[in-house]
């Protein structure tokens, strides 16, 4: 039973560039959430996708956008990268209904230079 998979594992980008991160949820899960974790801090909620729509969004600018595909996989896009966007980006999947813990992938480490 495959868990949450994310790609790539590491990424180095230059300020002003754009980046796309990918996530495949745990088998059977229908909801994907994205979190940003800066060094030494807890994860911060970016947004959540269910039925291919953004359902909830945290306090992140419009430079952060996403997409969910019919197979429940998801992408996180960040435009006009800033140095402060350097972080570990975590994808988490869950069931929409009932009490469901988040199941996380190993994350993508983004470095903006």
What residues line the site for another protein (CB under 8 A)? 31, 33, 35, 41-45, 48, 50, 55-56, 58, 88, 90, 92, 94, 96, 98-99, 101-107, 109
For residue 83, the SS3 value is helix
Structure tokens of 9?
């594992």
Residue with Cβ nearer another protein (18 or 52): 52
Query: 58 or 73, CB closer to another protein?
Result: 58
Report residue 90 as tokens: 């975590």
Q: How far is the CB of 64 from another protein (least distance, A)?
A: 15
Residue environment code for 65-83, b if the CB has 16+ CB neighbours within 10 A, otherwise e = bbebeeebbbbbebeebee
| Nearer CB in complex with another protein: 47/80 | 47
């Amino acid at each position: 039973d495959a868990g949450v998979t994310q790609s790539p594992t590491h990424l180095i980008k230059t300020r002003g560039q754009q980046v796309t991160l990918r996530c495949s949820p745990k088998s059977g899960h229908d909801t994907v959430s994205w979190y940003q974790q800066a060094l030494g801090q807890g994860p911060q909620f970016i947004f959540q996708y269910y039925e291919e729509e953004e359902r909830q969004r945290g306090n992140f600018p419009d430079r952060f956008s996403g997409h969910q595909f019919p197979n429940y996989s998801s992408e996180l896009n960040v435009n006009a990268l800033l140095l402060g966007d350097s972080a570990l980006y975590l994808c988490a999947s869950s069931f929409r209904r009932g009490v469901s813990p988040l199941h996380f992938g190993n994350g993508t480490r983004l470095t903006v230079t």
